[in-house]
A and B are shown apart, each in its own frame.
Chain A
């Protein structure tokens, strides 16, 4: 699914010295795997996730997504891949305010190129919300939903275009233990369906439920821990 070789990412902040977030990191993630990326803040785990998600480009190194070299892809091409192949879940949910759960879930279909008919879009959004257990809350606004429910709406949104790859950036970071566990269960179910899930977290308990843990330190892989189960 994912092959990266010698990825480097260097940021230039103002006139200060360049900061290296990633220093020649290589990683393989197989289709259907669930991988947790751990590390202290500043270890480069967010940079890695952004590069994997085609939101950012590496300064150096090679990235092959589903066999295709995407390191030099244009903005348009990367956007197309994000729309069709990658779903994102964020720590702070990032739902559109004053927009119902259904309409939030429908947003990614706008960027598919050829948009399916609205009725089909609505049916699919409703079934995605049912899939995450929010069937009775289709027309609620984010302000009317708990944190856990909002994050499940965000998961439904990530699934809307049926991407094979899900990227989650601290998906349980803003949730209490019970809600966090529910979201994590959901991600595990999705992985069981055959999707590839990459999860960034600093929570060892959450990471421990992944198939494989990768611990970053100073922009390099410090440790790889296979799932004990």
Chain B
């Protein structure tokens, strides 16, 4: 039982090449667009997440910064109010939802000297758990021990950029650098981390013990940031709520008053950053849907035209024994054939788009097999659906009337 023949189906499609192009263009463009846009968005999201993760080390944290809603962007000792204390950090560390808290006291305006060379990196006073909490590692040397923190030792760990600036031809380990005139002994070098969001270097940094920073360098007893590591990965929101409650109690903030601190869930920030690139994607996606709609209308209109042009053929087939169902099937198969051509072209366009985007975004090309399969299926269903009206018109045609043409 085969009223449908693939080669005859294709031939009847080839009969009008321009019409065929008009029928498959919409669906093909839509598929190509959607694959390209999604690949570009996916690349952008990965890039952003990778940069944010590079800066923060891990997403399973809540960032605690002093100051209410006005705190934005990079904090430092010169631009935050003195409301976040070491005692606050300890209290947060005591919460059940929090595994540990790293303390940070940072400044961007400290001159660092080695012999006659000078450089102004970011200076981070950090607690002894900083390195482990972030998942960072040292290229060489040792990180600060709790004993060094307790002793407020003048010890330093250098980022790769600082080594390059101050020790271009020398071994930095054991060397003495001066931070604002105060001597610190270099005991380690951080593994290079590359770029953070926006592309600035994360290696232009000097780490010193936060206790030393507080009492022997900056003479400030408040923190610029505390990084609370969440005990259960992914449960950032619950930890964030617990930290908020604890800090509001400690800071005696009245029920109606605003927080005097800012809590940030880094995974939410990364998602926000990724969403910015998603806006353009949604415009392009809308364009793809419009192309899809136009393609559907073109298929319906041109197939209806084709049915009226092929009345004699329909009449002959009916006379040769075709049932209405056979005619319906034949035209549905032609619509399916159109859909298959559109899918093939669309996938080619999509592959080209994905490869192009990958090259442009300096990302490896990822092939979204599942999405492509879903789009192909949907396009085939759409094409056959568009064929329903013309196929029904063809099947309902009275054979006598069809043969009279």
Contact = CB atoms under 8 A, between A and B. Distances in A.
Contact of A88 (B2, B313, B320, B326): B320
Interface string B315-329: 111111111111000
Contacts of A56: 399-400
B1 to A, nearest CB: 6
Nearest to A89: B319
A112 B326 CA distance: 11
B15 interface: yes
B96 to A, nearest CB: 74
A82 B320 contact: yes
Contacts of A115: 1-2
B363 interface: no
B146 interface: no
Which residue, of A55, A79, A92, A103, has the highest number of chain B Cβ atoms within 10 A? A79
B79 interface: no
Contact of A110 (B312, B319, B326): B326
Given A103-B8, A110-B2, A50 B320 contact: no
Given A53-B319, A94-B315, A115-B2, A75 B324 contact: yes
A24 interface: no
Contacts of B313: 94, 96
Contacts of B321: 79-80, 82-84, 108, 111-112, 161
Given A83-B321, A98-B11, 14 more contacts: A55-B399, A56-B400, A82-B318, A83-B320, A88-B320, A96-B313, A99-B11, A107-B316, A110-B2, A110-B326, A111-B320, A115-B1, A157-B320, A161-B320
Contacts of A76: 323, 325
A110 B3 contact: yes
A114 interface: yes
A79 B403 CA distance: 15
A220 B35 CA distance: 68
Contacts of B320: 82-83, 88, 107-108, 110-111, 157, 161
B5 interface: yes
A79 B318 contact: yes
A99 B5 CA distance: 13
Interface residues of A, number: 30
Interface string B233-250: 000000000000000000
15 contacts: A55-B403, A82-B320, A88-B319, A90-B316, A90-B403, A94-B313, A96-B313, A107-B320, A108-B321, A110-B2, A110-B4, A110-B322, A110-B326, A114-B1, A161-B321
A83 B323 CA distance: 10
Contact of B319 (A55, A80, A84): A55
Contacts of B322: 79, 83, 110-111
A94 B311 CA distance: 10
A113 interface: yes
A97 interface: yes
Contacts of A84: 321
- 4 closest pairs, A vs B, by CB? A83-B321, A111-B321, A108-B320, A79-B323
**B contact residues, range:** 20 to 34
A161 B11 CA distance: 24
Contacts of B4: 110
B399 to A, nearest CB: 5
Interface of B: 1-5, 8, 11, 15, 312-313, 315-326, 399-400, 403
B133 to A, nearest CB: 72
Give the one of A80, A94, A114, A161 with max B CB within 10 A: A94
A107 B245 CA distance: 81
A190 to B, nearest CB: 17
A177 to B, nearest CB: 25
Contacts of A96: 313, 316
B269 to A, nearest CB: 62
A51 B399 CA distance: 11
Contacts of A92: 312
B3 A50 contact: no
A114 B313 CA distance: 22
Contact of B317 (A80, A97, A107): A107
A88 B317 CA distance: 10
Contacts of B2: 110, 115
A114 to B, nearest CB: 7
Interface string A111-153: 1111100000000000000000000000000000000000000
A103 B7 CA distance: 11
Contacts of B315: 94
A90 B8 CA distance: 22
A99 B318 contact: no
Nearest to A85: B321
A97 B16 CA distance: 12
A161 B324 CA distance: 20
A50 to B, nearest CB: 5
A111 to B, nearest CB: 3
A225 B316 CA distance: 31
Nearest to A80: B321
B3 A94 contact: no
Interface string A164-208: 000000000000000000000000000000000000000000000
A57 B399 CA distance: 11
A114 B3 CA distance: 10
A179 B100 CA distance: 101
